[in-house]
Structure 1
Amino acid sequence: MTTAIPSTFSKKEWDRYVRLGRKLVKKMSGLQFDLGDLMIEMLHERPHGHGEVTEIIESFAHAIGLAPGTLRKYYEVARQWPKAKRRADVSFSVHAELAYTRSRYAKIRKDPLDPFTHERHWTVNEAIRAADRMPHTPTNKEERLAKTRSLLRSDEDAADAVREMLGRPDVRSRVASDHRTRNLMRQAQYEHWDQVEEAVDADEELALEVEEEPEDLSPVVSYDEGPLEILRLLGNFAAFFVSLQKTIPEIHAQDYSEETKEAVLENITKARSFLDWCESAITTGKTDMDKALARLLEDEEGE
């Protein structure tokens, strides 16, 4: 990953400003260490208990026009970096990020590779990485994913992000082509419908509890008086509906061969023919099998 020079600058102009900026940072770093060293001198051989350090830092910061927290940071970083161990060409900010890492004196002597400029020099980003913390600007896939996970700690935020990302065609394609992801999505569908079913059952139970005088809801067909063939037919429909309701959500067509899909579609056609036959028998009284359905069954028996 690299950073491009802003379009309003030529490379020559940009490089000149970078050199000037680095010189100013070097001066500023020297001043920050100077203030930290001054605090070390002021606190040397003075009582360090009962809030004396905080009182001195706050009073001195107020007197010189600095925020107490800023002055304390200068003091604490300066304490971690004796003058002989500091690098004048490395910023105070880098020293601050490395201040509490092990082997910091050895680490700072070796310039890391800056993945943005491909130069060997210390940056705050690389110092944070050297301290085994998440850098401000991720430079590889693992860091980008880790950064994303840290930002999307809330399930609600994560769900919204996934929903938005699925709006991108290439993302959808990559997700759909991953077998593990498809399995997770199917599992999510099962869990969702289980929750829906539980909610419906709970609503029905609540309705029964609050209903004082249930209405007389006699079935359309009396199971005591209905013809046996009708009762069988209704039972077959009920079993068929329940079976499909459980099975259809488990379908994952992207994993099936064309032959498998064709076999299912042929059975759907056959099912429609049987339903048409049943409808004709009920509405017209004719129970003769349709010729097309008869041929379909004959072809199946022939196989």
Structure 2
Amino acid sequence: MTDVTDRIGNVTRQRYEQLVSQAKELIAQVARAQFALGDMALEIEPMRAVGGSMPNGTDDLFTVTESLQMFADDIGVERRTVEDWRYTANRWPEKRRKEGVSFTVHRILASVVDDDERWAAIEDAPFNPRTGARQWTPDGAKRVVGQRVDRPVTVDEKVQAVADLTRDDEVAAQVATGLLKRPTVTEHVTPAERVRVVTELTRDDTVAQQVTTDLLRRPAVARKAMRDDTTRMLVNRAQFDNSNETRDRIRERTPAVRAIEHTIEYLDLVGSCHSFVATLGRLVPQLRGQEFTEDERETVRRQSGRVRAAADWLEGALDNGEFTLDEQLVQLLKGE
């Protein structure tokens, strides 16, 4: 009894080999027939340069398309088929046609621009690892001319096939979701690509908020993130803004809070003035007998100017109720 593993489809391997041999003979006959049909189409309408006239110098009674359409109709095929025959036959003169190679492979290799390269290409059949022999297949020819193959084998070919199948955003989203659930896939994604993906996925503020909250709950992540000056500044700013928002809500709900804050702020202001005067009263007497360089004296004068500006601003604010800082005063208080 024949082993099941020694069968191909519904036939034995021996019968399969017989069928392949017979099919190759038929394919060779088909190729010769297709080339013959292409030669006929060329005889009816020779290839000519764009804008060229009829080779015999006569006026055109029919356009090329009309002539080929008539021929196609009369033999019962599509005009496009006739055009393929004609083009391929023109690219492969009779002496250059390779016996045993299908018309399909000839048609694909016909796109090789240089004649010499085309002649050389068809003589160099690629190795077929399945059969262990050098032989032409349509995909093998497509690889030579850089066309997309029907059965991708290499990583690049498979990536291109996936890219073609995922041009639709909905399909791409489902495929990406499925792939990212596979640990062996995600571990091959570079850190830079992971950052880019996370950035794209967190453009929505709600999503970004949830992701950030979850990430900062991881001590190691939070600690390293806070080492960045910009991040730390923004976090501090956010905390300050949140405090202001909370205080504003409390003020709206409890008007008495504002009166309490006023008292606290007033006491802070008076206390700051008193503390400054007291500090000067303690330090200035201790400077008796000390020598100062010109740079040191200039530094003290500059700081004294800032103190006077701040005091003038305070007095003016109390008199006219204007408590905002103008740009010039801000720069002065910053020492700029």
Name the TM-score, length of structure 2 as normaliser: 0.53
1:60 equivalenced with 2:67 (yes/no): no
1:78 equivalenced with 2:89 (yes/no): yes
- 2:256 and 2:141 map into 1 onto residues whose CA distance is 80
Q: Summarize the alignment of residues 227-242 of structure 1 with structure 2, pairs less than 5 Å apart.
A: none
- 1:16 and 1:27 map into 2 onto residues whose CA distance is 17
Q: Summarize the alignment of residues 179-198 of structure 1 with structure 2, pairs less than 5 Å apart.
A: 179-180=190-191, 181-193=193-205
Q: Summarize the alignment of residues 1-303 of structure 1 with structure 2, pairs less than 5 Å apart.
A: 6-43=8-45, 45=55, 52-101=63-112, 102=114, 103-167=117-181, 171-176=182-187, 178-180=189-191, 181-193=193-205, 219-222=252-255, 224-225=257-258
Letter in 1 for 2:67: I
Compared with structure 1, are the counterparts of its residues 120 and 177 closer, same or farther at alpha carbon in structure 2 (3 Å cutoff)?
Answer: closer
Larger radius of gyration between Structure 1 and Structure 2: 2
Letter in 2 for 1:193: D
- 2:18 and 2:84 map into 1 onto residues whose CA distance is 31
Output one character per residue of 1:208-249: Cα deviation in whole Å (capped at 9) or x when no partner.
xxxxxxxxx984444734867xx9xxxxxxxxxxxxxxxxxx
What runs of 5+ residues in structure 1 fail to find an aligned partner? Answer: 198-216, 232-303
Compared with structure 1, are the counterparts of its residues 173 and 138 closer, same or farther at alpha carbon in structure 2 (3 Å cutoff)?
Answer: closer
Deviation at 1:195, TM superposition (A): 7.7
Compared with structure 1, are the counterparts of its residues 49 and 187 closer, same or farther at alpha carbon in structure 2 (3 Å cutoff)?
Answer: farther
- 1:161 and 1:191 map into 2 onto residues whose CA distance is 20
Deviation at 1:152, TM superposition (A): 1.9
- 1:48 and 1:160 map into 2 onto residues whose CA distance is 60
Compared with structure 1, are the counterparts of its residues 165 and 136 closer, same or farther at alpha carbon in structure 2 (3 Å cutoff)?
Answer: same
- 2:133 and 2:172 map into 1 onto residues whose CA distance is 36
Of structures 1 and 2, the one scoring higher in RCO (CA 8 A, sep 6+) is 1
What runs of 5+ residues in structure 2 fail to find an aligned partner? Answer: 1-5, 47-54, 210-249, 265-336
Deviation at 1:188, TM superposition (A): 3.2
- 1:57 and 1:174 map into 2 onto residues whose CA distance is 53
Compared with structure 1, are the counterparts of its residues 196 and 179 closer, same or farther at alpha carbon in structure 2 (3 Å cutoff)?
Answer: closer
Deviation at 1:158, TM superposition (A): 1.5
Deviation at 1:121, TM superposition (A): 0.6
Deviation at 1:71, TM superposition (A): 1.0
- 1:119 and 1:223 map into 2 onto residues whose CA distance is 94
| Contact 2:166/2:172 (8 A) holds in 1 | yes
Q: How many correspondences in the alignment?
A: 205
Letter in 2 for 1:186: V
Secondary structure in 2 aligned to 1:95?
helix
Letter in 2 for 1:158: A
| Contact 2:38/2:85 (8 A) holds in 1 | yes
Aligned CA RMSD, in angstroms, stands at: 3.2
Output one character per residue of 1:180-199: Cα deviation in whole Å (capped at 9) or x when no partner.
243334323442337878xx
Output one character per residue of 1:53-83: Cα deviation in whole Å (capped at 9) or x when no partner.
2221111111111211111110111011100
| Contact 1:33/1:74 (8 A) holds in 2 | yes
Letter in 1 for 2:119: Y
| Contact 1:33/1:78 (8 A) holds in 2 | yes
| Contact 1:35/1:74 (8 A) holds in 2 | yes
| Contact 2:251/2:257 (8 A) holds in 1 | no
- 2:256 and 2:135 map into 1 onto residues whose CA distance is 87
Output one character per residue of 1:150-195: Cα deviation in whole Å (capped at 9) or x when no partner.
232233331121123345xxx2343156442433343234423378
